[in-house]
């Protein structure tokens, strides 16, 4: 397993929809193992394939559900259903490994359900209402559609987020990834 560099805002891989996985190959198995390793190294709640430069419709997650129970897994070719109430309050701060060191209030539904398959081709059905996992499922599927959470922010907060990206110098230095083994997210 390898910790891969995590792409950051401005990287082309984050702006394009992903491709459906048609067959579980050794390449896909290695990618998923590396994604878990990378997510763990970055202390993330989840990581989508585009965040490590891959265009496959895959994400991994490792976060708590509404009952504060740690949930961990992979979903290949996920289909998302949102339910509950759309919420934006002080508990709605969301961050992203592709916009490291930043966090902003982001409106998300209180509930989410994702169905897909695992690495063995078994059906996967993951759902949560009111926990970090519900937010994570929505966030990771957004990545697979080519969308970052900053695109869901109010115009004022979106401008603030983009100003923070500029202030960190990511675009001016041409930096489009970071290595979670070498840098803390707030130092990128």
11 marked as part of a ligand binding site: no
DSSP output for 45-112: SEEEGGGGT--BSEEEEEEE-TTS-EEEEEEEEEEEEEEEEEE-STT-EEE-TTSTT-EEE--EEEEE
140 is an active site residue: yes
Rg (CA), the chain: 16
* CA distances from residue 153 to 120, 133, 164, 186 in whole angstroms, order as listed: 37, 20, 14, 20
Contact 5, 12 (CB under 8 A): no
| List 37, 94, 102, 140, catalytic entry | 140
Residue 47's DSSP bridge partners are 60
User: Which residue positions form the known binding site for Fe cation?
Assistant: 96, 139, 143
User: Which residue positions form the known binding site?
Assistant: 96, 139, 143
Residues classed as catalytic: 140
């Amino acid at each position: 397993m390898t910790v891969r560099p995590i792409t950051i805002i401005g990287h082309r891989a984050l702006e394009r929809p992903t491709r459906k996985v048609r067959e579980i190959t050794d390449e896909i198995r290695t990618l998923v193992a590396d994604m878990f390793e990378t997510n763990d190294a970055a202390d993330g709640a989840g990581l989508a394939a585009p965040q490590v430069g891959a265009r496959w419709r895959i994400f991994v997650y490792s976060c708590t559900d509404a009952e504060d129970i740690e949930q961990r897994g992979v979903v290949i070719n996920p289909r998302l259903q949102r339910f509950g109430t759309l919420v934006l309050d002080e508990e709605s701060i969301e961050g992203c490994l592709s916009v490291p060191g930043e966090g902003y209030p982001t409106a998300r539904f209180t509930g989410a359900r994702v169905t897909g398959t695992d690495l063995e081709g078994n059906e996967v059905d993951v759902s949560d209402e009111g926990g970090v996992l519900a937010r994570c499922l929505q966030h990771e599927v957004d990545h697979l559609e080519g969308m970052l959470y900053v695109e869901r922010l109010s115009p004022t907060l979106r401008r603030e987020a983009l100003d923070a990206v500029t202030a960190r110098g990511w675009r001016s230095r041409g930096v489009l990834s970071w290595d979670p083994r070498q840098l803390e997210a707030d130092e990128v």
